[in-house]
Amino acid sequence: MRILITGGTGFVGSHVCRQLMAAGQSVRLLVRNADKAQTYYDELGEGIPELVVGDVTELASVRVALEGCDGLVHAAAGTPMQTGSVEQLFAVNVDGVKHTVGSALEMGLEHIVCISSITAIFDPDAARVTADASPVKSKLPYGQSKVLAETYLRALQAQGAPVSIVYPGGVIGPEDPGFSDSFKALKHRMENGFRIFGDGGMQYVDVRDLAALVCSLVVEGGSGRFLLPGVYSTWTQLADTIEAVSGCQLQRIPAQGWKLRLIGRLMDCVRLIKTVDSPISAETMRYATLWPNIKNTEELTARGLQLRDSRETFADAIAWMVRAGHVAPRLCPGLAAHD
């Protein structure tokens, strides 16, 4: 098979690419900067995918990239802290989905997998967060963009289109080409203090486990919706895990959810006039303070897959952060014990 990946120089897309190439599949990436992609994959030393220059917001380049392909993994996405404007956020998260998936279907592809987000169906009540849950309206731009894309994809599924949708929680693990938001939040907590939100918690899925499910789905084809929020930890348990695998000493700061949600909104207002180097936003604080323990898809067991222990995930993630120069080695004196 020849499989096109959008977002192939991003965190999830790059791991999907690597696993597909390791399995002997032919992989093509739609990239904005071919030199950057070439350098990244050359340094990995695991093979270099075919590269086509373009952008998911440009329909013509998407169609060129899809020529001769059998499958599509749409992993490109924008977040509030990565995109320069609300307009660009919608261009990537909504128009990008319509361009790639719509074109793939028009060209007859029958193996299509889209990476969505739990945020599209998020509810503080875990029992309501299922693969059949309706998209949830959001007052915030990122959530709105994900819901619009979700509505479009579900309409295609209802018509019988061969589209699978995967909903990950927080994604973490080793080797992220772009240092995504989960890493920025982890770095911020290690360097500036870890806010503990009462009895709340979060779910993180190892990027390698997410990639394994995506690869299985795109190779086999079909249609369905699959929740993969990952391993749940209370914030106290997560702080314990980070300290245990890295040897760092976290400053634990008791925090109230409503205050952090308010601070997130204020930070978003500040971002309208200047760049802010902080993982705090209204969107991130809502999920960080209200996240329930959501069940993972049973498709993992059906496909012979399982989630890694969170200690392995965070040990590998933090070790990579140190190697890449994102975190000072002195903050993680215990990493050697986990090498």
What does the pLDDT read at residue 196? 83
What does the pLDDT read at residue 241? 97
pTM metric for this prediction = 0.91
Contact 227/129 with Cβ under 8 angstroms? yes
Alpha-carbon span 264 to 329, nearest angstrom:
30
Residues composing the chain: 339
User: What CA–CA distances, in Å, run from 291 to 121, 197, 230, 267, 319?
Assistant: 12, 11, 12, 21, 27
Low-confidence ranges of the chain (pLDDT < 70): 80-84, 199, 258, 277-279, 336-339
What does the pLDDT read at residue 80? 62
Range list of β-strands (E), the chain:
2-6, 26-31, 50-53, 71-74, 111-115, 163-168, 170-172, 194-196, 201-206, 224-228, 231-234, 252-254
Alpha-carbon span 132 to 165, nearest angstrom:
12
Spatial CA neighbour of 256 closest among 314, 210, 204, 195 = 195
3-state SS assignment for residue 68:
coil
What does the pLDDT read at residue 339? 52
Q: Pairing mode, if any, of strands 201-206 and 231-234? A: antiparallel
Alpha-carbon span 167 to 12, nearest angstrom:
12
What does the pLDDT read at residue 84? 64
DSSP letters for 28-62: EEEES-HHHHHHHHHHHTS---EEEE--TT-HHHH
The pLDDT tens digits of the residues spanning 28-85 come to 999 999 999 999 999 999 999 999 999 999 999 999 999 999 999 999 988 765 666 8
Work out the end-to-end distance of the chain between its first and last CA atoms, rounded to an integer number of angstroms.
36
